[in-house]
Amino acid sequence: MKVRPVIYVLCLLLLSGCGEQPEDRQKEIPMEILKKELEKKNKVWVAAEKTQIEKYIERHRLNMKNTPNGIYYQILEKGNGPAINEGDKVTVSYEIGLLNGEVLYTSKEKGPKTFQVGKDYIESGIQQVMMMLNKGDSALIILPRHLAFGLTGDYNKIPPNATVVYRIRVLNQ
């Protein structure tokens, strides 16, 4: 069984005081030290996730670009519509999956998704990529966990700390 690093750290922090009486407790860890340790661990996790994404890209022989915050994307088919801007209402067909190839959601089963770019509640990574696309574009997008569903997942099919792979097509309206 693989223990998720963040959950492991949180459990250790929560359990560190179990069974002790207040007078028996040692000095608490200063917040500054705790913050530095968590930052170190986060850098390790981010590097590991980046390696997993790069192996996925290599394995599938993809030609993806990446943004400074860790989003990978490839425009698979260029549409003929106008550029998408913040505030535009868009409708997308989609397939959402994981790096292991498991498909979790598709617009074939749930219908296309309509949202207002930069305004509606949708993954921040998707919001960012939408403003790099035109209506009619088809793209493959890989979002690191911090720009997808984060520590909790979606409480349904997307697990905690998941790197998410999207295939989307921006439908012309």
Overall residue count recorded for the chain in this entry: 173
Domains of the chain: 63-171 (3.10.50.40)
| DSSP-derived secondary structure for 2-49 | PPPHHHHHHHHHHHTTTT--GGG--PPPPHHHHHHHHHHHHHHHHHHH
**Residue 168 · residue 138 · CB < 8 Å:** yes
**Residue 49 · residue 71 · CB < 8 Å:** no
What separation in angstroms does the CA of 109 have from each of 26, 27, 93, 96, 103? 55, 54, 11, 12, 12
User: How buried is 133 (Cβ within 10 angstroms: 0-12 exposed, 13-18 middle, 19+ buried)?
Assistant: buried
Dump pLDDT digits (tens) for 34-73: 888 888 888 888 889 999 999 999 999 999 999 998 999 9
Model pTM above 0.85 = no
Dump pLDDT digits (tens) for 103-157: 999 999 989 999 999 887 888 899 999 999 999 999 999 999 988 888 888 898 9
